[in-house]
């Protein structure tokens, strides 16, 4: 059985992002690691960016929810 090998793409004081040889991206924040595909990582990045902009503007406005299909993308 082949073993996966991770290559660290970025590391900071509270998070690390690594690419696995099987193609997944591993986002580790503290003791939690989330395994994502590249598209999901980009989507999460945009969402976090929106939140940071809202925080810096001092707003607490929550954007309207997107239409959900009822499926969770893993």
- Whole domain around residue 42: which residue ranges? 6-56
Q: Flag whether 41 is in a domain.
A: yes
Q: How many domains does the chain have?
A: 1
25-47 residue pLDDT tens: 999 999 999 999 999 999 999 99
- Asked if the structure places residue 24 within a domain, the reply is yes
Phi, psi of 49 (to 5 degrees): -60, -45
- Residue 62 is assigned to a structural domain of this protein: no
* Dist. CA 44–CA 38, nearest whole Å: 10
Residue 68 forms part of a structural domain: no
Residue 30 lies in a domain: yes
Strand boundaries in 1-74, DSSP class E? 6-11, 15-20, 25-29, 32-36
42 vs 63, more confident: 42
Domain contains 25: yes
Average pLDDT of the chain?
Answer: 86
Instruction: Tell me the pLDDT band of 58, cut-offs 50, 70 and 90.
Output: confident
């Amino acid at each position: 059985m082949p073993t996966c090998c991770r290559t660290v793409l970025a590391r900071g004081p509270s998070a690390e992002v690594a690419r696995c040889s099987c193609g997944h991206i591993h986002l580790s924040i503290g003791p939690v690691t989330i395994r994502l595909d590249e598209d999901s990582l980009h989507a999460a990045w945009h969402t976090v960016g929106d939140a940071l902009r809202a925080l810096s503007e001092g707003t607490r406005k929550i954007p309207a929810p997107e239409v959900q299909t009822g499926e969770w993308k893993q």
